[in-house]
């Protein structure tokens, strides 16, 4: 079994959408999406600088658009997508790929999500850092004493923590023995209590969407379980903005389900890296540009 995974915020880089827009049909589609959500995805995906696309309100729609373009390209090349999951905002991408939301509704939802999270982040100066190495329980005990929260359990010895900037600075100065702390270039303490206002705003907005039950196997970030109800998955997407992402449990679920290969949609890199540490022996392909599609097809064909 091959699982197709959609990355989260922080995976974007300047110009990463450029090769996808060389296809006139894809460019026309992204123009339509841009008009729909009133975000210039073409400009931000091609010429905007790193600081501009670091903005939550821009980064999240860009990432979802890239994932949707990748899934389209795979299907146009003859690939059958049978199982899917997304990391953080990637869950919105996964919902569209699985048929829970239309592409248009996924982009509308992510625009609302991104704006709500940006507004919540603006209320208090906060951020996130990755803690690499040692036992997750020991890391959580250490950071909790500093007033920080675990935001992403990424597996493979990595936990992303979130909280106030002064507490993150203290963590950098006083890391748990055997760990390395890496500050992340994000605009707020996502997946923590600081995002409670965003969760409530998104919950109110979600009532305007009518989800369908998934057509593909899909796993949730909440606890790694497989979800068969579209309404439930949408509710989980709402809740996860202020709750930890349990990607470690997702990867364990992939292993338990017999996944032998993992294909990461654009902008790829982060999740294939985690899989190499947390899903040892699993074949991976990260799709950064359309040139990577043949490698993904070869992996899919080899698992058929």
Q: Is 216 exposed, middle or buried (0-12, 13-18, 19+ CB in 10 A)?
A: middle
| Helices 56-76/24-37 angle, 10° precision | 140
Which residues, at least 6 apart from 249, have a Cβ–Cβ distance to it below 8 Å?
A: 153, 223, 224
d(CA 237, CA 145): 29
Q: How many Å apart are CA 67 and CA 107, to the nearest integer?
A: 11
CA gap 81, 75 in Å, rounded: 8
219 by DSSP, 3-state: which? strand
| Joined tokens for residue 149 | 């929260």
Helix or strand or coil: residue 205? helix
Cα distance between residue 2 and residue 84, in whole Å? 9
Residues with a known catalytic role? 88, 191
């Amino acid at each position: 079994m091959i699982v197709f995974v959609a990355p989260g915020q922080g995976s974007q880089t300047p110009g990463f959408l450029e090769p996808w827009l060389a296809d006139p049909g894809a460019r026309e589609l992204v123009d339509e999406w841009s008009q729909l959500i009133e975000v210039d995805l073409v400009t931000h995906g091609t010429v905007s600088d790193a600081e501009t696309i670091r903005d939550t309100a821009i980064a999240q729609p860009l990432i979802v658009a890239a994932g949707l373009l990748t899934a389209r390209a795979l299907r146009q090349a003859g690939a059958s997508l049978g199982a899917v999951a997304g990391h953080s905002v990637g869950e919105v991408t996964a919902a569209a790929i699985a048929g829970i939301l239309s592409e248009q509704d996924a982009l509308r939802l992510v625009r609302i999500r991104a704006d709500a999270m940006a507004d919540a982040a603006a209320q208090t100066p906060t951020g996130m850092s990755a803690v690499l190495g040692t036992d997750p329980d020991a890391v959580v005990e250490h950071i909790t004493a500093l007033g920080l929260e675990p935001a992403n359990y990424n597996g493979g010895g990595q936990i992303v923590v979130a909280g106030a900037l002064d507490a993150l600075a203290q963590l950098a100065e006083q890391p748990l023995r055997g760990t390395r702390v890496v500050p992340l270039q994000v605009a707020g303490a996502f997946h923590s209590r600081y995002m409670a206002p965003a969760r409530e705003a998104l919950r109110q907005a979600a009532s305007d969407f009518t989800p369908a039950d998934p057509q593909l196997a899909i796993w949730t970030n909440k606890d790694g379980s497989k979800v068969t109800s579209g309404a439930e998955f949408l509710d989980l997407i709402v809740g996860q903005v202020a709750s930890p992402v349990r990607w470690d449990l997702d990867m364990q679920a992939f292993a338990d389900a017999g996944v032998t290969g993992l294909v990461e949609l654009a902008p790829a890199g982060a999740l294939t890296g985690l899989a190499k540490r947390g899903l040892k022996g699993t074949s991976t392909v990260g799709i950064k540009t359309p040139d990577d599609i043949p490698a993904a097809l070869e992996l899919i064909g080899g698992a058929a």
